[in-house]
Amino acid sequence: MGKRELTVLRGISLNIEKGELVAIMGPSGSGKTTILNLVGCLDTPTAGNYYLEGREVSRLSSGELAQVRGQKVGFVFQTFNLLPRLSALANVDLGLRYSGGGDSRRAMEALDRVGLSDRANHRPTELSGGEQQRVAIARALAKNPPLILADEPTGNLDSRAGEEIISILTSLHSEQGITLVIVTHDANIAHRCQRIIHFKDGQVVAEEKI
Amino acid sequence: MKKWLEPLASAWVGVVTHKLRSSLTILGIVIGVAAVIALMSIGRGAEASIISSIETLGSDLVFIRPGATSYGGVTGAAGSAASLTLEDAAAISEQVPYIASVAPFYATQLQIVVGAQNMRASVRGITPEYQQAYKLEMTGGAFISEHDYQRGARVAVLGSNVKETLFEGVDPLGQQVRMGSNVVRIIGVLESKGESMISPDDVIFIPLTTLQQMVAQPRTSSGERVVSVITLTVSEQEHASYVVDEITSLLRSRHQLGPGVDDDFNVTSMEEISTMLSETIGTMTLLLGAIAAISLLVGGIGVMNIMLVSVLERTREIGIRKALGARERDIWIQFLIEASFLTLAGGIIGVIVGWLVSYFVNNMGLMTTVVSADIVVLAVSVSVGIGLFFGFYPAWNASRLNPIEALRSE
């Protein structure tokens, strides 16, 4: 598309176990988000392979990738990315739609899981930042994916709301065994994970087990 | 929610959340469809009213007129030749099948005087079959009878306009009227047939036998009595063209026309005239509809424009949907449904508006209008088709967006 090709990641060999809770840290431009996009099947690598649950997904077509996203991956974004015109419940329901069909009962259960069942009919603009992020988590969680990816989930929140979000996410891991990958700048959050992977200039520079 | 309902529901949300924009978008479609409906209904109405006026005159009529005279290369007006005769009429009546009645007449102009009223009127010498052939109704008195005809009675029947001119507010029945140098008695008045090329309203009718006594009716070289026109009615409509052919060959042999010589007469059935007229109006209607359809096309381009803007504005939403697992097809269908939803709504509103317009045109007496179901169905399905056609490119654009870039957009 006329853009200069830029190598963001090079020579990475990374293995994340099922049921693991991993933090990815690193300065801006180190390739954290790019690796998250690859892991989340939003993007495919120009070279190299990626296996998700033993299946090679790096050569799939965009339609097949979409299907994998729908079935296997839940995203939690820094900016929440809720649809502003839809209620909290409808936003959660939207997450189910592309993975087998909307189901407002399941959506409601997911909202209940993040403690927002009483605000189901509020629109995102009527919710606080922390509440919006909880709706986003419910959306990721509703389809019951094996993998949830959180890209700076507390980046736009104050520390109290951020703490709430992190405890919800870690409880998802501990109670439901969901594989969780969190990209973060915050060392406190990273230290609540099982493993921290440090990125710099598109390479893994360090790994620490907690 | 049912799976197939979801795209519909999200299209509905998309349309409703931008009420002003959606309504402006569909305005073009509304105007286009309304114009198609209104113009087509006016065209269809004109067609229907012409056909119905022909039917009141009688669609089973067949006219035989004389051909043009021709002397040394100078051709006269059609009907100027003195080629049809009373004997032709009799022969047709006897030899051609499927004929209900034959009514030859001789037309002339005579000075009419009633008291101080004086007018030059069109006078037709007729046979009693004339009433049946032209389906004439009486407002008073009786029509010329077989008995009147046989004895050449000095009686006359007035067309409604003639009655108004000569006997305004007076009962004309039984009154004496000077006709040329003779006196006739009024025995009946006809109901008006309205204006048309063969309306009886401006005519005075007397028995042909009576007219023969008053004016010198021309004769052909073989001694047959010349008539102006022979009118006849066919008993079975579907045989009209057969009857026309039979009459043509009978008259050609009676008039001793060899092969290669043009007919010296002209046979036209009312059916032909009405077919020709309704074809002409049909073409006009189609032309009007086509002009209206152009505005529909312009409306469609408006829809495309808005859909492109809408896709651009909702790039982030598309990114979110894709991250949640929407395939290109899902996005494509969503926007396509949204576009056709808009144009369907526009089409339905347009039908209602067009219907109202044609209703008012009809009720104010400007024109007869007929809204026919086929036009309504056509207009609505064309407007949905426009949505699909002009929504295709924006929807395709939307479906091709890269999810990562889309998520990054503001």
Q: pLDDT of B273-332, one tens digit each?
A: 888 888 888 898 888 888 888 888 888 898 899 889 988 988 999 999 999 999 999 899
Binary contact (B324, A95; C-beta < 8 A): yes
Alpha helix stretches (DSSP H) within B96-231: 129-134, 146-151, 160-166, 208-214
Binary contact (B327, A42; C-beta < 8 A): no
- Residue A6 maps to a domain: no
- Residue A138 maps to a domain: yes
Name the token pair of B348: 């339905």
- Residue A150 maps to a domain: yes
- Residue A152 maps to a domain: yes
Is a pLDDT exceeding 60 seen at residue B70?
no
d(Cα A106, Cα A117) in Å, to the nearest integer? 12
- Residue A7 maps to a domain: no
Gap from A129 CA to chain B (nearest CA, Å): 18
Gap from A99 CA to chain B (nearest CA, Å): 7
A56 burial class (0-12, 13-18, 19+ CB within 10 angstroms)?
exposed
Binary contact (B324, A86; C-beta < 8 A): no
CATH of the domain at A138: 3.40.50.300
**Residue B409 has what pLDDT?**
82
Is a pLDDT exceeding 60 seen at residue B78?
no
Contact (CB, 8 A) for A184 and A178: no
- Residue A95 maps to a domain: yes
Contact list in B for residue A1 (CB cut-off 8 A) is: none
pLDDT class of B81 with cuts at 50, 70, 90: low
- Host H or E run for residue B405: helix B403-408
Q: What chain A residue is nearest to B325 in terms of C-alpha separation?
A: A70
ipTM: 0.92
Binary contact (A70, B322; C-beta < 8 A): no
Gap from B346 CA to chain A (nearest CA, Å): 24
Contact (CB, 8 A) for B51 and B216: no
Gap from A165 CA to chain B (nearest CA, Å): 20
Name the token pair of B386: 């426009």
Binary contact (B324, A70; C-beta < 8 A): yes
- Residue A13 maps to a domain: no
- Host H or E run for residue B103: strand B99-114
Query: Angle at the Cα of B371 (from B368 to B375), degrees rounded to 5?
Result: 135
**Residue A1 has what pLDDT?**
43
Contact list in B for residue A40 (CB cut-off 8 A) is: 323
Binary contact (B325, A99; C-beta < 8 A): yes
Residues in B lying within 8 Å of A, measured between beta carbons: 1, 3, 6, 13, 17, 316-317, 319-330, 403-404, 407
- Residue A32 maps to a domain: yes
| Strands B176-179 and B99-114, sheet pairing | antiparallel
Lowest mean pLDDT among A118-132, A178-192, B194-208, B352-366: B194-208
Contact list in B for residue A71 (CB cut-off 8 A) is: 325
**Which residues neighbour B350 within 8 Å (Cβ) at sequence distance 6 or greater?**
B29, B30, B31, B32, B33, B34, B36, B37, B379, B383
Gap from B328 CA to chain A (nearest CA, Å): 7
Is a pLDDT exceeding 90 seen at residue B19?
no
Binary contact (A62, B323; C-beta < 8 A): no
What's the whole-number average pLDDT of chain B?
A: 86
Residues of chain A with pLDDT under 70: 1-5
**Residue A2 has what pLDDT?**
47
Binary contact (A94, B325; C-beta < 8 A): no
Binary contact (A98, B6; C-beta < 8 A): no
d(Cα B146, Cα B130) in Å, to the nearest integer? 11
HSE-CB of B335 using CA atoms within 13 angstroms: 33
Backbone angles phi, psi at A127, to 5 degrees: -115, 155
pLDDT class of B265 with cuts at 50, 70, 90: confident
Gap from B2 CA to chain A (nearest CA, Å): 8
d(Cα B335, Cα B318) in Å, to the nearest integer? 10
Binary contact (A81, B17; C-beta < 8 A): no
**Which residues neighbour B273 within 8 Å (Cβ) at sequence distance 6 or greater?**
B54
Strand residues in B142-285 grouped as ranges (E): 155-158, 176-179, 182-190, 203-207, 229-234, 265-269
Instruction: Choose, out of B16, B320, B328, the residue to mutate when testing the contact with A (most A CBs < 10 Å).
Output: B320
d(Cα B111, Cα B99) in Å, to the nearest integer? 35
Q: What separation in angstroms does the CA of A141 have from each of A71, A94, A99, A128, B160?
A: 11, 12, 12, 20, 90
Gap from A35 CA to chain B (nearest CA, Å): 12
**Residue B221 has what pLDDT?**
74
| Strands B176-179 and B182-190, sheet pairing | antiparallel
How many structural domains are present in chain A?
1
Instruction: Choose, out of B324, B399, B407, B408, the residue to mutate when testing the contact with A (most A CBs < 10 Å).
Output: B324
Write out the residue range of the structural domain in which residue A63 sits: 21-209
Q: What chain B residue is nearest to A102 in terms of C-alpha separation?
A: B1
pTM: 0.70
Contact list in A for residue B327 (CB cut-off 8 A) is: 62-63, 66-67, 98
Binary contact (B327, A63; C-beta < 8 A): yes
